Every structure is written in C-alpha cells, then in structure tokens.
Structure 1
Amino acid sequence: MIRIGIVDDHAIVRSGLKQFFSEHVDLRVAGEASTGREAIDLVRTTELDVLVMDLSMPGQSGIDALGMIRAKAPDVGVLILSGYPEEHYAMNLIRQGASGYLNKECEPSEIVEAIRTIALGKRYITASVAELLAQQLNRKTDAPPHEQLSEREFQVFLKLAKGETAGDIAESLSLSVKTVSTYRTRLMEKMGLNSNSDLTYYALKNKLID
C-alpha cells in the first residue's frame, strides 16, 4: 500500500485527487495540506511514501517547502503537480530534490504511474523533462540564467520578482535581511540584471510568475 500526502491550496483539487486515488487498491491518502508550511508538518507527523505537491500556494509555496521536506523526510518521494509547464520549473526542482514533475494538464493515469515509480525510490522523468535534461547536458553554457541559480537564490529571485520586500523574504525563509541582500546581489550578477523591476520583467517573460 502506497501512502500518499496531497498538498494543494484548492480543496476541490485535493478532493478530486483523493477520489481518483481511492479507485486504485494500492493507493491510500494518508493526509492533506493546503500550504507549504502544513506540508512540512504533514511529513513530520504522518507516515508517507509519496507527497503530491502543488507549487503555487499562499504563504510558503511548494518551492519554499521542498528543501525543508527533503531535510525532515529524506525518504519521502515528492511529486510536483503544477500548473506551470515543465520547461519553467522542472529542471530547478529536480535539482533541488523533487522526485518528479508533472503538469496538471497530464493524463490522470500518468499521476498514478509517477506515484508508483517514485514509491519504488526512483525518479519519474517524463519525455519532455528528459529532453530538457539532454539539452542542458549538451549546452551547459546556453542554459537560461535562472537555471544557473542555487536553490536559495532561485527562491529569493522569485519572491523579489513578485514584489516582496527583503524584510518579507527574510521572514518567510527564516533568514536575516542582510543575507537576503547578499543573495539578491549574487543573483543579479549571475543573471546580468540591475533592478527588481528587471527581475519582474524577466520572470514574467519566462512565465515563472503569473
């Protein structure tokens, strides 16, 4: 029996997934969460094999929660189920420890296949993500600037692009304002950008934020 945690801020999505998983004898939903923070609590308090998690949630997003989940529950597989296409986030998140990435447009049967694969301790890589991986290996230097950021830099970049202040970011990521400023300087250098509005423009143009 594969024990699943569902993390999504929409009750209708959680309910739909729960109903769908109940039709499979080897799957059981052991817990639910609606924010990244609740997801961290869920993996701490509940025996899970695979966490199916959205990215875009209020407060602490799936991206923010992933590192903490990896630290607190290294054996739990994490399947990202997101509305964003693979090319926007999959590479960064798989590098950060996600076990698989699916777009919400995928066939429901593919979610089950991914869960079963991840429960065996493997990664679930779709054909399109495999293609992105191959491209990245072939042309390391041509990778988009945001793919060259570290996990923390990527988190800070997304928050700055959404208009959050250094104080807000420091609080949500449990960092000091000085550390956030250091990350900002470093990521600006790596991306060749000069201002927060440049970051926002870049993130919108590359469809990393809505």
Structure 2
Amino acid sequence: MIRLAIVDDHAIVRAGFREMLNDELGMSIQFEAACAEEAKTLLGQHPCDVLMLDLSLPDQNGIDLLRTVKQRHDETQVLIISSFSEDRYALPMIRSGASGYLCKDCDRNDLINAIHTVAQGRRYISANTAELLAREITGEAEKTAHEQLSEREMQVFIRLAKGESVSQIADVLHLSVKTVSTYRSRLLEKLQLGSNAELATYAHQHGLIFA
C-alpha cells in the first residue's frame, strides 16, 4: 500500500486529487494539509511514502518545506505538483531533492505513473523535463544568472527578495549575520544588482517568489 499525503492550500485542488486517487487500488491518503506547518506536524504523526507538494503555500514556500522533509523524513519521496512551468522549475526542484515534478493540469494516468515511480525510490522525469535535462547536459541550454547560484546562495537570495532582514535570515538558516551579509554581497555581484529592491524585482521577473 502506497501511503500518500497532499499538501496544497486550495481545498478544491486537494479534493480534485482525492477524487482522482480514491478508487486507485494500492494507494491510501494518510492526510491532507493546507500549509507547511500543518504538513510538518501531520507528517510526524502519520508517516507517508509519497508527499504531493505544491510550491506556493501561505506560510512557507514549498522549496523550504521540501528541504525540511528530506532532512527529517528521508524515506518520504516528494512529488512536486505545481501550476508553475516545468521549463523553469522542474530541474531546480529535482536538484533540491524532489523525486519528480508535475504540472497541475496533468492527466490521471501521468499522476498515477508518477506516484508509482517515486514510491519505488526512482525519479519521475516527464518527456518535457527529460528534454530540458538533455539540453543542459549537452550544453545547449543557456543558464540565467540565478541558475548558477549555489543552493545556499539561492536560499538567501529568495529570503532577501521577499523582504526578510539579514538578521532574520541568519536566525532561520542558523548562520551568523556576518555570513549572511557576505552572501548578500556575493549575490549582488553575481547578479549584477545594486540593492535588495533590485533583488526583489529580479525575483519577480523570473518567477522565483512562490508566495
């Protein structure tokens, strides 16, 4: 039996997935959550094999929740199901620890196939994502400036862009204020920007802020 969890802040979306999966033999929905904190609490109480995760949540973006799940519940496979384009987000999410990426307009067969694939500990790669990966491996894909940032730089970047202060970021990421300030200076240099306001503008223009 594959134990599932659905994390999405829209009740109608959760209901839609529940309806798609209710009649599927060999699958059981352990819980549903509308925000990151609720998901973390319920996951501690009800272990699951596959967590279906939206990127846009009201209290915390899905990337941070993904990392938390992988740190605390390594046996849980995370399948991102988002309204954001595969072209922009699939590969970064898989690099961050997701086992697969689907758009919300996927059909039922794709969803069932993805769940079975990741439940077996494998990566679910759609045809579109496979093409993106092939282009990257062969050097055909042009990387934007932010795609060349390290994972930690990206974490700091997103938080700065959302208006968090250096001290707030230091506290959340368990870093010193000096270290975060160094990351900020490095980000401004790498992205060729001059202020936090420009960081926020860049993040909005490239669709990097989920909530």
Give the TM-score of the pair, scaled to structure 2: 0.88
TM alignment of 1:82-161, pairs within 5 A: 82-139=82-139, 142-161=142-161
- Structure 2 counterpart of 1:166: 166
Structure 1 CA distance for aligned equivalents of residues 197 and 4 of structure 2: 40
1:202 equivalent in alignment to 2:205: no
State the TM-score, normalizing by the size of structure 1.
0.89
Pairing 1:74–2:74 present: yes
Unmatched tracts of structure 2, length 5 or more: none
* Alpha-carbon distance, 1:176 to partner: 4.5
User: Which consecutive residues of structure 1, in runs of 5 or more, have no partner in the other structure?
Assistant: none
Separation in 1, partners of 2:44, 2:175: 22
Q: Is the 8 A contact 1:43 1:72 kept in 2?
A: no
* Greater mean deviation of Cα atoms: 74-83 or 178-187: 178-187
Q: Say if 1:35 and 1:58, in contact at 8 Å, map to a contact too.
A: yes
The AA in structure 1 aligned to 2:36 is G
Q: What is the aligned-residue identity percentage?
A: 49
TM-fit CA distance, 1:75: 1.5
Structure 1 window deviating more from structure 2 (40-49 vs 116-125): it is: 40-49
SS of equivalent residue, structure 2 residue 3: strand
Matched-pair contact (CA < 8 Å) for 1:64–1:173: no
* Cα displacement (A) at 1:124: 0.3
How far apart in 1 are the matches of 2:139 and 2:34?
38
Q: Is the 8 A contact 2:135 2:141 kept in 1?
A: no
C-alpha displacement of 1:30: 0.5
**Residues 174 and 62 from structure 1, CA distance in 2 versus in 1: closer, same or farther, beyond 3 angstroms?**
farther
Query: Which residue is equivalent to 2:15?
Result: 15
Measure the CA separation in 2 of the matches of 1:90 and 1:134.
Answer: 13
1: CA distance, partners of 2:36 / 2:176: 20
Which SS does the other structure have where 2:56 is aligned? coil
1:62 aligns with 62
Paired AA for residue 125 in structure 2: I
How far apart are residue 170 of structure 1 and its match?
Answer: 4.0
Q: Report the CA distance between 1:175 and its aligned residue.
A: 4.5
C-alpha separation in 1, matches of 2:111 and 2:2: 13
Q: Secondary structure at the match of 1:190?
A: helix
SS in structure 1 opposite 2:6? strand
Q: Note the C-alpha offset of 1:167.
A: 4.0
> Cα distance, 1:27 vs. partner?
1.4
Query: What is the one-letter code of the residue matched to 2:112?
Result: V
